[in-house]
Amino acid sequence: MIAVGLVAALVTIFLAGFGIAIWIFARADRINLIECACLAWLFGCGTISLLLWFCGMFCSGLFLQAIVTVACLLFAVLGWRAKRNANARFDLPKPANITEWILASLIAIEIAVLIFTSFKHTLGWDGLLNWELKARYAFLNDGTIPAAYYSSDGRAFSHPEYPLGIPFTELWLYLWMGEPNQFWVKIIFPLFYAACAPLLALLVSRLSGKRWIGLLSAALLPFVPSISASPGGVVVGYVDVPLGVFYLAALGYLLLWFKASDSRFLVVFAACSALLPWIKSEGIILWLVIVLLGFVLGLAKRRLGQFVLSLAPGAILILAWRIYLRLVHLSPHSDFVRPSFGALRDNIGRLGDIFGILFAELSEAVHWSIFWLLAAVALIYLFASRKLERIALASAVIIPILLYSVIYVFSTWSSYSAHMTSSIPRLLLHVMPVGWLAIGLALSQAKRETQTL
């Protein structure tokens, strides 16, 4: 029964997301099946968790599960009807030559290995106490987080103020399995990787015009040890890799919109960027970075109005979560003081240490091998290209890293260096997939070729 429930949960997530993805791309002549499948997982997790959160305010138990299931099926039907009405057809892009076949096969093998490896490890510290805990408590309370949890000072260690994107995706699996199974729930995380690798290949291919470079970038992705072998990676059930995947998708489709002027790409950007703050609190920083970059690209394209409209879902979600926290009498807990010039003046002396720790982490071979050296070389290429979209991509790598580092100036920990050392490796994971996008584009040089995917 557990296996049946697990399959049902995954299928409903996938159907909801697939319906939304098809609906977005319905008016294209061809709907790329791989693209839809990757986006289906991202949209599906976002939709399910948001539905559970919102509907859970009004109902619970089997009724809640039934409503969310019906909504998922409805999304699938609506997407399918939109595709049929638009006479669009599915297209499965196949590798064109032996190199592409080898790289595509390698990506498929890597995904399979990571799924297998994930089941060999337990949930990590944060995966268990910050994320899975919420899913379990909600499961034991008929699908909603109990009010007592928010008022429990003794469980402040689990950060009740953290957003529910991943915990409620886990909850969905628990509801269908009928038990909070910590073994099977881990399937979620390698599936994020399974969405990330082909999406990276697709985005690099489209932006560079060279499919083999996209496939090569995706094939090299798991060779960054942090994704598979270090705390925060896919195997320990943290939310940092999922957040990185959403950031990659949001930025990639923003750049595609800039390049191709196709409003469908902006819709995907709107959806993926909106979900950034729903996955992890730091997602707000990534959202702000992407808003800034999008603003510049929108200005250059003279389509600022269209871009500003696409920010509405993210802004609404951020606001809704703030209101919800206020309603449950929770103020966002923070390990940082409110940024002010006074605090900055008092702690400005930390900057030397902070950048020292950052450099030490970026060059930590056990976590990153020489990935950040590759990223640095890629950034030089991108800036040297003097093309706005490439400079925007380079900025999307640099700005979050700088913001994530500088924020420790305001750390309230007695040892800010310990604070930074313990968390910066995971924060860098958010930017890593976008770093590969930068590497892919740098490798392709600046030649313009036709879109192949």
Partner 1 sequence: MRWRFYLHFGLWFTLFAVLIWISAPIVGSAIVENRIGAAETNRSIDSYLRGLTGIENGSEKLPDAFRHLGKEGRLIVFVLNENAQSEFLGMMIGYISWPREVQIIKVSGPTVDKELADIKPSTVAGVVFCSVSPPAWLGHRVRLGSSIVLVPVTEAAP
Q: Which residues bind partner 1 (CB under 8 A)?
A: 2, 113, 116-117, 119-123, 125, 127-129, 132-133, 137, 140, 146, 148-149, 152-155, 157-158, 179-184, 220, 222-225, 228-229, 235, 365-366, 369-371, 373-374, 377, 442-443, 445
H/E stretch holding 138: helix 133-140
User: Which residue, 30 or 333, has its beta carbon nearer to partner 1?
Assistant: 333
CB atoms within 10 A of CB 370: 12
**Distance of closest approach, residue 385 Cβ to partner 1, in angstroms:** 13
**Distance of closest approach, residue 205 Cβ to partner 1, in angstroms:** 17
CA distance 238 to 265: 28
Phi and psi (nearest 5°) for 89?
-125, 150
User: Which residue, 2 or 406, has its beta carbon nearer to partner 1?
Assistant: 2
| Tokens describing residue 419 | 């604070």
B/e letters for 72-104, b = 16+ CB within 10 Å, e = fewer, are: beebbeebbebbeebebeebebeeeeeebeebb
**Distance of closest approach, residue 220 Cβ to partner 1, in angstroms:** 6
- For the chain, the residue count is 453
User: Which residue, 437 or 443, has its beta carbon nearer to partner 1?
Assistant: 443
User: Which residue, 164 or 439, has its beta carbon nearer to partner 1?
Assistant: 439
**Distance of closest approach, residue 167 Cβ to partner 1, in angstroms:** 13
**Distance of closest approach, residue 95 Cβ to partner 1, in angstroms:** 20
User: Which residue, 40 or 224, has its beta carbon nearer to partner 1?
Assistant: 224
**Distance of closest approach, residue 245 Cβ to partner 1, in angstroms:** 19
User: Which residue, 121 or 259, has its beta carbon nearer to partner 1?
Assistant: 121
User: Which residue, 148 or 316, has its beta carbon nearer to partner 1?
Assistant: 148
**Distance of closest approach, residue 447 Cβ to partner 1, in angstroms:** 11
**Distance of closest approach, residue 108 Cβ to partner 1, in angstroms:** 16
Q: Helices (DSSP H) in 261-311: which residue ranges? A: 263-279, 283-301, 304-310
| Tokens describing residue 11 | 């299928």
The C-alpha angle 51, 52, 56, rounded to 5 degrees, equals: 115
Q: Which of these, 205, 213, 293, 212, lies nearest to 247 by C-alpha position?
A: 293
DSSP code of residue 411: B
| Tokens describing residue 313 | 């879902």
Residue with tokens 């703030």: 322
User: Which residue, 130 or 273, has its beta carbon nearer to partner 1?
Assistant: 130
Residue with tokens 């009405």: 85
CA distance 345 to 343: 5
